[in-house]
Amino acid sequence: MTKKYFLNISFWLKFIGVILLFYLINKVGWKETFDSIKKVSFFHLIAAVLILWIAFYLKSVRWKIISNSYGIPLGKYKALKVFFIGLFLANITPGRLGDFGRLLYLKDDLPTQKIGWSSLIMDRLFDLVCLLLFSFSAIIYYQFSFYVLKLPNEYGGIIFWFLGGTLLFFILYKFRRKFKKIIMPWWEAFNSHNLGWLKSIQGFMITCLSMVLIYGVFNYIAWAMRIEIDHLGLFLGTFILGILTLLPITVLGIGVRETSLVVIFQLYKLPAEDAIALSLIIFLLQLISLIPGAIWFYLSPIRLQDLRQIK
């Protein structure tokens, strides 16, 4: 009953983003939004999709490097195919958990199942580190440009987080042996790779390049729409969008992405309809970019319930 109740809450939370989207469009105006969307040509849409596919190809190369370092025999074509399938599944499942469906396509090649999970966690960590670095750069850029962060007048929140962190520390310290017993087998599997410094740097550079292409699509479409905005500010700001869209209140970033872009556009005194139009176009491109993964998944389907077998 509790699990079913939790899933219902998670399901309904997703509609917060949809409600945000319709609220924004109603406030700005449907006609103004669609007129703004018409500014971009079909040619630019195709070019943007190709940019995304190149970025995803680079990510599949990185995943191949990581997998091989764990002793998983993964070739270039299979890495590309399974990565696109994982990308498709990640965007149609809660919390992007479907991305771990990649393991089901490699289950016969995995040295151990813990190593399989470790390879995907490592793959995600490269993305997370890069995302956080760009987001931190964005915060610094916006702080110097607009002074968006101000010191709080009251320090109750800081005290609350300090006490919460202290309590968490003592809990972890008290039960450290139990945690160590659970974590150590996974930690050993996670560290069983042979990436080394050279391959790690290679993987990080590939990640940065793919991120620049993925989030740079915002700039490309804004340029195609002839939106006069500080492109460095827009580029860095989209990484903060990338973190916000991970919140469990949205499907594919709907609503959260539009609201965040409107805030960025307001900082530059640009019309909200252009921000919403840009976001909706990116959403369309995101869907189109999933087509190869959807086709490959249709040709080689799996049951996501089988993920429970990979422990």
- For residue 173, name the pLDDT band (cuts at 50, 70, 90): low
Contacts 24+ apart (CB under 8 A), 263-270: 264/233, 264/234, 264/237, 265/229, 267/142, 267/145, 267/146, 267/148, 267/233, 268/229, 268/230, 268/233, 270/227, 270/228, 270/229
- pTM confidence score: 0.84
Contact 293, 228 (CB under 8 A): no
| Domain positions in the chain | 29-149+194-309
pLDDT, position 254: 76
- What is the spatial distance between Cα 133 and Cα 124, in angstroms, rounded to a whole number? 14
Mean pLDDT rounded to a whole number for the chain = 83
- What is the spatial distance between Cα 24 and Cα 30, in angstroms, rounded to a whole number? 10
Among the residue ranges 103-107, 232-236, 300-304, the one predicted with the least confidence is 300-304
pLDDT over 60 at 305, yes or no: yes
Q: How far is CA 268 from the centre of its chain?
A: 25
The identity of residue 140, as a single letter, is I
pLDDT, position 309: 57
Contact 83, 63 (CB under 8 A): yes
- For residue 5, name the pLDDT band (cuts at 50, 70, 90): very low
pLDDT over 90 at 47, yes or no: yes
Residue 108: its H or E element: none
- What is the spatial distance between Cα 164 and Cα 122, in angstroms, rounded to a whole number? 29
pLDDT, position 308: 57
pLDDT tens digit string along 122-153? 999 999 999 999 999 999 999 888 887 766 66
Using CB atoms within 10 Å of the CB of residue 53, give its burial: 0 to 12 exposed, 13 to 18 middle, 19+ buried: middle
Give percent of the chain with pLDDT exceeding 70. Answer: 80
pLDDT, position 57: 97
> Which is more confident, 6 or 35?
35
Conformational region of residue 269, where left means phi above 0, alpha means psi within -120 to 50, and beta covers everything else: left
